[in-house]
Amino acid sequence: MDKFLSVPVTGQTNFLLSVSDVIAVTRTNTTTTLITYNSGNSATFTHAAEGFTNEMRDSLQNAMTLALQTSWTNVVADYVPAKAVSAIAVA
């Protein structure tokens, strides 16, 4: 069963992000965090600047872990990002 995070995006409806098959969550710079999937797809988060911390990466990883630990009937978990998310691009 797939699991998803419901991610609030500024000025848009919430984005459903798959947490299944994730192989890496990487901070690429102060305003971008990249999620890489085993399939080769990716999701790029554009968010408020976080300085020299990994706050967004850690926040996403923790939310994914918690979502995957829930019952199979809990498909969507609400996610409160560490920083405001302005866009999510899937490739």
* DSSP string across 34-84: EEEETTS-EEEEEES--TTS-HHHHHHHHHHHHHHTS-TT--EEE---SS-
User: Domain range holding 81?
Assistant: 4-90
Count H helices and E strands in the chain, helices first.
1, 7
For the chain, what is the domain count? 1
pLDDT digit string (tens) for 17-68? 999 999 999 999 999 999 999 999 999 999 999 888 899 999 999 999 999 9
Provide the whole-model pTM. Answer: 0.91
State residue 38's pLDDT score: 97
